[in-house]
Chain A
Amino acid sequence: MSFKNFATVFSLIVFSQGFSFAKVKFEDDILPLLEDYCIDCHGPDKSKSGFRVDRRVHLLKGGDSGLSAVIPAKPDKSYMIEVINSDDPEIGMPPKGGKLFDDEVELLEQWIAEGAMWPGQMEDKIEEGTDHWAFQSVDRPTIPKKSKNPIDYFINRRLKEEGIPANKKTDPLSLIRRAYVVLTGLPPQPSRVADFLCDYTKNPEQAYTILVDELLASTHFGERWAQHWLDVIRWAETNGSESNLYRKLAWVYRDYVIRVFNQDIPYDEFVRQQLAGDGMGTGEALGFLVAGPHVPAATVGQEPSAIRQARADRMDEIMQTVGASMLGVTMSCARCHNHKFDPISIQDYYSMTAVFQDIEFGSRFPEFSKEHPRKTKANEFWQDIAKNRNKIRKKTTTWEEDWGGYKEVHWKPIEVVGLRLNFWSGYVGLDEVEIFGLPTENINLAIASNGTKVKTDLVFAQQGDRFPVTRVIDGKYGTQRWQASYNKEKKQNPWLEFTFERPVKVGRLRMSSNREYYYETDYLEQKNKFNFDKFLVNVKLVDGTWQEIASIQDIRDLMKIEKTIGDVIGEINHLAYKLSEEGPRPSFVGSFIKPKVTRVLHRGSPENPRDIVPPAAPKILSGELGVDNKASGRARRAEFAEWMVDAKNPLTARVMANRIWQHVFGAGLVVTGGDFGRAGAPPSHPELLDWIAAEFSNPSRPEGTPWSMKELIRIFVTSDAFTRSNQPSDEGLQKDATSSLLWRFPPRRVEAEVIRDGILLASGKLNRKMGGRSYRIHNVKKTYAQWEVLNNFGPETWRRMIYQERMRRVDDQIFTAFDFPDCGQVRAKRPVSTTPLQALNLMNSAFVVDQAKHLAKRATDESNTNLKASVIRAFELIFSRKPMNEELKVSLQIAKDRGLEIVCRALINSNEFAFLP
């Protein structure tokens, strides 16, 4: 992989052949056609669809479609000929008036076949490149040696130029609240405030440095900053779409992101892990790629074109995620045609999809390193399972286990050439049957790709060939299954017969009705339904005779007599459950498929595949990866990750440094943090942006760690710009109303999470348990029903809000109103709105009513039930300060009249609590 200078000029190859045989004369035969039919819309005045016919190079390049209008010597490959011949009103040209006459089309074809001769322009080349600032390499500006914090140098210089006086340092109380909320998302506790105020009077600088160190080391730091990253990639725990199914164990990705921020994993490593963590022992990091919404197969239906379209939509979600979060480029715009604003072609878009062709929205066992805690836990469970199975073997050779997603039947291994299942139930629905050999072996002998055949009698079929029997050995779990029912004429229940390619030893089988629902989703009413019950297992021995090997009826009869077997099996079933909770179990962090050869989809339509493209990043950013369509998916992604974090990629460091800036100061230096292209906003301080990008990826500080996010945050929060007072000034407001030049610290309403977590912290009810399964506020629902909020205020919800189930477009009926994202689209920045619904939710919701009570009780308990002291304590718990005299007077009166709870309710609703000081 090589990076060129980004101002490099790319050249189109100019074909030049067939001079001597030219029969078509350009000026006489071709130019009049172009002038009559094309140039009004595709000329220098209007260049519709980005296409012009007034120069040969424009014809060679083509328009927004990304297809060359003219490919010399190849009329059949030239898009111009295609659109001229097309009857499709969307595509056919010219759009109005008559079509070209046949002889005119022939002339054009012949002209192209002869090399598209255009006298005087045969040597012309088109210059491609971009002068857009974001695509130029990062240029670290020099700074005066003595500047204490370089970012202040840039900020103050600009303020001086604009003639805006900077505010003085803020008061220590505001400072500690600001630092706490920005860094950890929680306000400080009164005792910590008291200590800080005391230390601050002795040595302000030291007190603040210690505070910042402490906050960066706090585990709450990761919880706060992970939230920002999850917003950007619209991560959620449901699919979206009609059924909006829960994504089982998707939260392992959320925990991973929290860990990354807490352990300060360098950003380049964070990028590599999220793109190719399956090869790095951090498989759950790939949850990044499937963060967006998707439509599940059952909703897509069976129409082949719908299935192709849905796959293309899912690829587009991946493009959006990668483009907006890491690259700061709106890749999706190039899905149907060349990007309108940025130098991203439709070929670039599909080349980048080729990088991710092995990714599918689904579950898999995440690749963990040997030391991963889930791995070690799992080994313990497996040992216990083996012990219990040995206990059973002392009593019987056949038994049945329930693994939640499937039933597993064991018998004494035996060599066979066939196996038959006779069901006792009148109706059978199976998505997969798997057959295994010895207890130590995990190769599925039943799968069709191993040469196994399966048959049944068609009289059991439901609805013709709608549910073919081959589905039980196709290796796919889910709704695509075999369904069969009792046949009245034959008076027979359904059966299945497997024929192996060669004699094999078989010892157990697994059978499920919809294992996908068990692996991939949760909280559904009918999730664990098995559409089969009792059955017989018969095997065909090598000599051709049949023998019964297991009977579910006999197994259950035996359990009635030998009660201990039941107990041991119960133990195994329980261990299976524990394994799925605590071991490495299939988690919704993406699954792998065999990558298909990627083609450009003309006009974005999967029904119109065109040229093959190799896996690559955008050409303008020197995106050659040195891998082709034969490379493994992981190799493609790993190369792409290296390209992403390469020192010469100008976007990666800029985009992330800007994002971190945004979360510290409220707005980015580039306010459109997910779009650094021409449709985005230019940086307010271009030099500062380059300095922070350079310092982030390649620190000049001797002790600096490249790509350390914590260190960059430390530089930001220890600046004068961050510690300034947020008081308005007439001059400041007049010249810079949004405070984007940072003459004051811009005040802002805090996010939904900060309000909720802050209330719980003040009331003393915050449960600080980190990670794991999200707390639930919703019901268990039917597949196609909507989620309903059942309980959004009870004690089981008293954790930090990052652990609240993040449901796509489901309103939690309190905090969603505070601009909590609906997780449908990538979100570089949450909007901040102020609405009466927010007021109603914070005044009247059960959560606030309940917490106001707890807060009042805590304030009372911590003040020896002296009402005045209780009011003071309530102020301290909510505002980190004591009330002023006036405040105390009115509050105490209301506490006397209506109770302390009412005072607490008002405090929770106050502006001071909702705004960052």
Chain B
Amino acid sequence: MNNHEEKISSIGRSLLNRRGFMKNAGFSTGALGLAQLLSKDGLFGSDDPTSFTGKSPIRPNLDPDNPYTTRDPHFETEAKQVLIIFCPGAVSHVDTFDYKPDLTKYHGQKPPGMPAVTFEGPSGNIAKPFWDFKPRGKSGKMVSELVPNLGALADDFCFVHSLHTQTSAHPQGENFLNTGFTMEGFPSFGSWATYALGSENEELPAFVAINDPRGPARSGKNNFGNGFLPAAFQGTDFNAKNPPANLARPASYTSADDRSTVSLLQRLNGFHLEKYPGDADLAARIASYELAGKMQTSYPM
């Protein structure tokens, strides 16, 4: 019996079967990330359902007591970190990098085949981009004059213009982009990455979610949640305005109070551990307090 099997829901386990995963998840950051992590031959579950339990399934070598321990990547990588900047409601794609000449062609006309009134109200006319597009870089990628300097770097970017979802609602679209599913309860991109790889940094959270100080995106924690994976893999949510909850020493305690608490705690746990020699769960919890202490001193406050 695999120890990790019981830690993951059946949906999660069937996700680790390649066909099921690619089919269900489509092409979104969450899905793409996992697909790449697991892309080495044999790391995916077999395509043949009968051998689902026969072949060794790909699961990170996860120690539930030390969930952040570094795990080897499944292929040679150049990237050391992954940074996703997710801008729900950002500047329009058709005014920046997504060249749609038909918008100019049909400028001022009613969109063909559209109802006169939708749930957003009466339909307006098609409008051409507010800036002209020009081919940039060696690739000749069409970029708008709104971003002349970024346009100069056009050859260094990878653009994906085909991404779309089956939903018209914002929160489900956010879920889809960051978890691969429109529905609730699936792990986000960072959660998968941390689950698969762990973290080299023991002093700061493995996966952080820095929310817009004006408020989080519409589907909230789903965008950086752990879904059905253990809570250890959820994004730690903070920004300059809101440091991580409970990181700071409570105002009513002095640093001497803190030191005394920690030293007494170590002694109590030490006595207790003597009764359970070699118990990894107990040792791991002791270690987690040490890590917590390191986090407190590493975070600039």
Contacts and interface: CB of A to CB of B under 8 A. Distances in A.
Contact of A727 (B166, B215, B273, B275): B275
B171 A242 contact: yes
A845 B6 contact: no
B183 interface: yes
A749 B278 contact: no
A354 B9 CA distance: 26
A242 B215 contact: no
Contact of A814 (B1, B230, B246): B246
Contacts of A309: 166-167
A631 interface: no
Contact of A466 (B117, B169, B281): B117
Interface stretch (B29-37, B92-100, B251-259): B251-259
B11 interface: yes
A843 B261 contact: yes
A735 to B, nearest CB: 13
Contacts of B7: 831-832
Contacts of A333: 14
Nearest to B291: A836
A727 B9 contact: no
A784 interface: yes
A12 interface: no
A240 B9 contact: no
A293 B215 contact: no
Interface in A799-847: 808-811, 813-814, 816-820, 822-829, 831-841, 843-846
A332 B9 CA distance: 13
A910 B6 contact: no
B67 interface: yes
A834 B285 contact: yes
A825 B227 CA distance: 8
B301 interface: no
A835 B169 contact: no
Given A295-B172, A303-B168, A672 B278 contact: no
Contacts of A466: 117, 119, 121-122
Contacts of B6: 667, 671-672, 681, 829
A837 B236 contact: yes
Nearest to B256: A898
Contacts of B52: 340-341, 678-679
Given A886-B271, A915-B281, A832 B64 contact: yes
A119 interface: no
Contact of B271 (A303, A822, A833, A884): A884
A902 B267 CA distance: 14
Interface of A: 50, 234, 240-242, 244, 293, 295, 299-303, 306, 309, 313, 324, 330, 332-333, 340-341, 463-466, 667, 671-672, 674-675, 677-681, 684, 726-728, 733, 738, 740, 747-749, 784-786, 808-811, 813-814, 816-820, 822-829, 831-841, 843-846, 849, 884, 886-887, 890-891, 894, 897-899, 902-903, 905-907, 909-912, 914-915
A643 to B, nearest CB: 23
A839 B289 contact: yes
Contact of A241 (B168, B172, B221, B260): B172
A374 B267 CA distance: 54
Closest 9 CB pairs of A and B: A824-B185, A242-B171, A825-B185, A824-B184, A839-B292, A831-B230, A833-B232, A675-B10, A836-B292
B153 interface: no
B231 A903 contact: no
B184 to A, nearest CB: 4
Contact of A786 (B3, B220, B273, B284): B220
25 contacts: A242-B218, A295-B172, A301-B169, A302-B119, A464-B117, A674-B10, A679-B10, A684-B1, A728-B278, A738-B3, A747-B279, A822-B185, A824-B184, A824-B186, A825-B185, A825-B227, A825-B228, A827-B228, A831-B229, A833-B231, A884-B271, A890-B267, A891-B268, A906-B260, A915-B281
B237 interface: yes
Given A836-B292, A910-B265, 20 more contacts: A241-B172, A306-B169, A340-B17, A341-B52, A463-B117, A466-B117, A818-B231, A822-B184, A823-B185, A825-B9, A827-B9, A833-B67, A835-B68, A835-B231, A835-B232, A836-B288, A894-B260, A898-B260, A911-B272, A911-B286
A313 B185 CA distance: 14
B282 interface: yes
A510 B119 CA distance: 27
A306 B231 contact: no
B14 A727 contact: no
Interface string B60-99: 0000111110000000000000000000000000000000
A301 B171 CA distance: 12
